[in-house]
Structure formats: C-alpha cells, structure tokens
Amino acid sequence: MSKRDYYEVLGVSRTSTEVEIKSAYRKLALQYHPDRNPGDKAAEEMFKTAAEAYAILADTDKRHMYDRFGHAGLGGAATGGFDPTVFTGFEDILGGLGDIFGFGDGFSGGRRRGPQRGADLRYDLEISFEESAKGTETIVQIPRQEACETCKGSGAAAGSKATSCPQCQGRGQLRYQQGFFTVARTCNQCRGAGQIVTKPCATCRGAGRVQRERKLTVKIPAGIATGQRLRLVGEGEVGPGGGPAGDLYVVIQVQGHAFFQRDGNDLHCSVPVGFPTLALGGTILVPTLDGEEPYQVPEGTQSGTTLRLKGRGMPDVNGGRAHGDLLVTVRVVTPRKLSREQKKLIEQLAEALPKEQFEPTPSEEDDQKNLFDRVKDIFG
C-alpha cells in the first residue's frame, strides 16, 4: 500500500516554512488526538500519520532527502508507522496539549524541571484621602517564604548535599508507556526536583525555605486611587529549589473624605453661599487640596450652579503635569433665626422685586416637572 504524501497529510505546500509546518501539525494533533476521539481507529491512524509526517518534515536533513527521493529516500527513517521520538518535547510542539487533556507534566521528554519561581503575594493597604492626593511613604510588614540562611536554600545540612532521586534517576519525572506513546509524570518522591536531601538542614528541615516577617518600604505615588496596585518586583516568596522570588502586589484602598468626592482625577464638593452673594456677586472661599482659595461668584448665580476650578483636582498618578479639576456646586443658605428688623427688610425686598424674577426659567420648569413626575411615580 502506497503512503500518502507528507505535505498532503499536513495540508501544507512544499515551500512552507518550519513555523507553518509546526502550526499545521498542531492543529491536526489537537483534532485527531485519541483523548478527543476515544475508540475511533480512523482518528488514531490519522494522529499517527500526522506525527510521522511531522517527524520527517520538521527535520531539515530528512526533509531534504524526502524532497529529492520521496519515501524511498528515507530508508528506515519512516518505516514501522509511528516514530516515538516525535514526542520528545511534545508539550512545546502542541503548545500545552498535555494541559488540555489533563496529562500534567506529560510529553516533556524526561527533562528535569529547573528551579521554580516563587509565589506572588498580595498586600491590601488602606491610606487616607490626603495621602492619596499628596503621595506618601509607608512601611508594611509581609509574612513570606525566604531562603534559609543556614543552608543557603539547598535544604541540606552542613557538610552534606542533595543526592539524585533513586526513583526517577534524577530526571524529576517518571515515564510510562500508554498505548502507542510515552507519557512522563512528575516524580512523587522528589516532587520533580530530581534530587533528595538525605540529611536535612535543622533550621528549615530540608525545605530550603523558612517563614519570616519582612518590613518593606512602599512609596505611594500622588493621585493613586482605590483598586490600583503597586508591583514590587522580587519581593514575593522565594522559589523552591533556589528559584527566583515572585513579586509583591500592594493593592490600595483609599478612605473616603468628609468634603470631597473623587471622579477620575476630578473632585466634587458642595459649598453653602448666602443669598446676597449669589444675587449681587462676590468672593467666596473654596476649600481645595492646598487650602482655601478665593473665587469670584458672578452676579445672579443660581443655587445648584456648578463652578469649575481648573487644575485644582487630583494629580495624575502616572506622573503627568495635568491635574483634574475641582467642581464646586453652590447651595443657597437660608437664615434660620431672623431679628424683627431683618424680617422687615426681607419683606420690603420681596415687595420691591417684581414677581417675574422669581419665576423659573423654561429649563427649570422642566426640571421641576420631572421632579414632580418622579415623586408621583414613587408615591402613586
């Protein structure tokens, strides 16, 4: 029975690059993998054929011979159907096929794991509104796994060293034959390290790491907001087996403020103003992040008007020069206790002012109508 053309099997042209051949093989391997097609002999044969084609076309010398002489030029390189050497580094070829089908550390070709990176840590830090506006520096105390100082992270007692794991012969993995290919799993005795500590360090008991409380200085940039986080590279837990440390993420929670409300980099606040100032115009003092600031209120300003103070909001956390704005809503203040003379003066003012001046503008009428409609909906 004649064999199919390997380029045809993978669905690529004879001018395809190594990357294109690898990509085509990955798609076929995922499509026809036995775990996706249990009991399907045709799929299993296609899976084997694709692996065989890839074994030839991914090898520069074999591909050259195949291009010149076809199957006859390969000699015994492609005989016997399936070539188990295809699965050396199979996890890289398929881009994590082992994880997809639950093989864990399978298809790694028996290569021992290197030192693993340590875990990232999270620290929730609450700061005041003023600290978020101005920036600050604080000290946090972090519990974390650090390298044992006694054994320098090796886990072995002084004068001794780790030995090769007898179960996996130092590979960190055990290989099993499953059907037509070999699967590698993490060694349960050395847990993938490939080595065993026979005389453990008395301080860390062979773990190579110990739990410690570490004080760290954290610089909080001005303008930071709730939910934003700071990354401290290498301040997480040290990795097992002497692996690099993870990172520490400081997640910020900003306390609320009694006067300001934040919206992005803008600040909002409400300021009480007397009727004479709104009617005649005048200067009011507006609280800002840098203290009170005078502001000239225009004549005839209505209660509820929002005034904008540019550049008086929060700073940009990324270090930009631009600040947000401060939006100040003025609210008329009605005096509660009036003397007889004050009441008489207000009555005289009311008589002197034409009634038309107290009638709402068209936009205010719409607002009042909408308000009445909402109240009606609520109370029926």
CA pair distance 368, 362, nearest whole angstrom = 10
Q: Which residues pair with 121 in a beta bridge?
A: 248
The CATH topology of domain 121-254 is Chaperone, DNAj Protein; Chain A (2.10.230)
One-character DSSP codes across 317-371: TT--S-B--EEEEEEEE--S---HHHHHHHHHHHHHS-GGGGSPPHHHHHHHHHH
Instruction: Note the pLDDT of residue 374.
Output: 53
Instruction: Note the pLDDT of residue 181.
Output: 61
The CATH topology of domain 261-334 is HSP40/DNAj peptide-binding domain (2.60.260)
What does the domain layout of the chain look like in residue ranges? 6-100, 121-254, 261-334
Q: Which residues pair with 308 in a beta bridge?
A: 327
- Are 100 and 91 contacting, i.e. CB atoms less than 8 angstroms apart? no
Mean pLDDT in consecutive groups of 10 residues from the start of the chain, 380 residues: 83 90 89 82 88 89 83 59 38 40 40 69 94 94 90 84 83 69 74 79 86 93 94 90 87 94 95 91 92 92 92 88 90 87 84 68 54 49
Instruction: Note the pLDDT of residue 347.
Output: 83
Place of tokens 């205010």: 364
Q: Which residues pair with 122 in a beta bridge?
A: 249
The CATH topology of domain 6-100 is Helix Hairpins (1.10.287)
Structure tokens, 115:
């030192």
Instruction: Note the pLDDT of residue 141.
Output: 93
CA pair distance 362, 255, nearest whole angstrom = 41
Neighbour tally for 38: CB within 10 Å: 8
